[in-house]
Structure 1
Amino acid sequence: MCIKNKDLQNKIVNTIFYIALTIELIIMIVEKSDLSFSLESYVFRVTFVLSLLCVIIMTHSISEWVLLIMIWSFTFYCYKTTGNNDLLRIAIFVMAARDIDLEKTMRYILIFTSFGFAIISFLSLLGILGSIFVIDDYGHGNPNELRYVLGFGHPNTLFSSIYSILLLWVWNYGKKAKWWHFAIITLFMIIICFITSSRTSIIISLLTIVLTVIARFLPNIAKKDISYITAGFISPILCVIFSMYSAGISHIIPYLWEKDWRSILDSSLTNRIKDLYYSNDRHSGAIETWELFSNRTSTEYFDMGWVRMFYWYGIIPTTFIIIAIIFLLYLCSKEKDIWTTILVISLGTYTTIEATYVSSYIGRNFMLIILGAYIGKWLKGNCISNYHSE
């Protein structure tokens, strides 16, 4: 679509994109609460159309159109094969984020999400919506374990929500934070880890905060290529290798000696590895259930996010996701963006154990917006986007 006034074009695209983003954030917040909403698929269609409209209104060179059509064709094929339109929706959304003001958008997401999550917690504390705590068997040997949820339904959902706020804070304000800011954040995360009683949360929180402190007070780290190479080695490479190994040994876990390191590891992960094979009769998640492209019956939910990606989407689509992450780290190295790099390490590690961000809810994954903005910057920098109006 050709709009000669470039400022008007950008304004229209940004307005439509923010509408789509806001809808995705709202539906994500509603999903995390105890509210019942069964029309997500229709809402996703609306945001898909809005994102597609953004891309159509934008100005593209012939080379960029070829790239777009290739990506659309691939993700559409994935959709027709699996019946899952996540990758198609994500691809369009990432493209729609090409020309956004990234810092402004990330601050908007932080404020909007924080406000939404605060409402969920306050409603539960007031006894209006959702439970303050839940007593259940969480696999820790106590059938009546009490863990706080503050309206989020499950303690892991509560932590993942606070964890998202932590990552958004790191990206937006980590570079200027004072030591006492880190002290407050650390204390807050310790409290959240304590009330949710999550082993994963302790490790991930400390990893994220330590990396942020190092980047803040040792700024030369951001200038060294080894920082970004190391990041890529950790996430996605090591995370994927560990996930593949876990999926490969999931069937033998019950037969191992209890002091075998693999059995100990699985126990520390509350049987996440074993459950890849034994959680149902289809052995959903075990490596023998992976296919080059997934199928319409591979819809089971389980923890371990990288494994879920391979199972839900297929080996080839997930390989392209891994390549996209490595490419993002390459762009970060060129921009000396250590803050996005920290998010990649933290999220990659977290996704090894949890599948929160492997979801149909685009609003959960703010990394998609960062990826879109960086790709847009790269396209312009490499003269691929040769705007006719310029």
Structure 2
Amino acid sequence: MTAPDWTAIRADFPTLQRQVHGKPLVYLDTANTSQKPRAVVEAMDAYYSQYTANVSRAVHTLGAEATEAYESARTKLAGLLKVRADELVLCSGTTFAINLVAYSYLLPKLQPDDVILVSRMEHHANIVPWQLMAERTGAKVEVIEILQDGTIDMDAFAAQLRPQVKLVAVAHVSNVLGTINPVREMAKLSRKHGIPMLVDGSQAVPHMPVDISSIGCDFYVFTGHKMLGPTGTGALWAKAAHLEAMPPFIGGGEMIKSVSFESTTFNRAPYKFEAGTPNIAGFIGLAAAVDYLQAISLDAIATRERELLEYATQQLQTIDGLRIFGDAADKASVISFAIDGTHAHDLATMLDIEGIAVRSGQHCAHPLLQFYGISATCRASLAFYNTEAEVDALVTGLRKVRTLLA
């Protein structure tokens, strides 16, 4: 199989061609949000300029075209993730999807002293909703702890599984450490105890092939803006039996079959969870993003990003005083680091002057940084559109900043 032309692919991303402070942009913040290829922008522009209409309501031509283009996102996402289209709820992203599961699935089931297991490395979006459920019901959130290398303590996790546990919530890939968690093994252990599991796939779906059906989880959530798509898009996958049993989360138009002042009959899943006018242009853009990713292939993307990760890790380790957090053997292209005596925000601010965009702070993962005893890190997150030359620019910039701040 011929390797993709990464130089030609990079040219598909308009933002990567710009300059920042008179320097070529080096964008190393894909874990926060990815850049968008021209095909995604053009797909959204076509909707707004050629067939703007609402979906599922009109019988006229524009309405039919808009509905077909919008629903293609559901179909294409299902194909990408090896699931049924009617098991995918289209929503604004991971945060909404997790809250949907929290309020519609878990809340009616929770009793005092029930337990929700959440890993130490979770994004706040996969912590706070469960805390809200616990506060309402008297349930407890317990931590699935990690080891110093940034991997799940699987022995401790297995010991935590017991009848009081009503849900396990874990990231497929850590947004800070890059750790690729053994979600299949975790789901298998959870199933043995009859415990459902939710997987946050936000940092996985854009970077590797994901076959949800082979994981064995009950819920899988992800967001569109990290996978080349627009903001305000994403989806919840759930087993059909769960979706059928769950009550609607938000009421309104399009999630109903009939309404009277006496009663309402709700639509079937997944539509009963999709009240109101959706982000039509956004999902049309997300459909284009799926096409783009599949044209390259997630296997090729995973290979390319693994190469970039190995190169960047080697180069960063040559900088005196630099510490990388998370060195799991199975890791995605995310590197969080700190330099002795230099605050992460100072590093990121001065790198920006060099045209280099990295993330700094706590990355919406306060409990994880507390585990390592630090207040903030810088995070360089790589994508297939990055280059070794950009890694070199980061290393050069860090050496320069370290000298200036010494």
Q: Same fold (TM over 0.5)?
A: no
| Bigger helix share | 1
TM-score bracket, normalised by the shorter chain, equals under 0.3
More strand by share: 2
TM-score by length of 2: 0.27
TM-score (ref. length: structure 1): 0.28
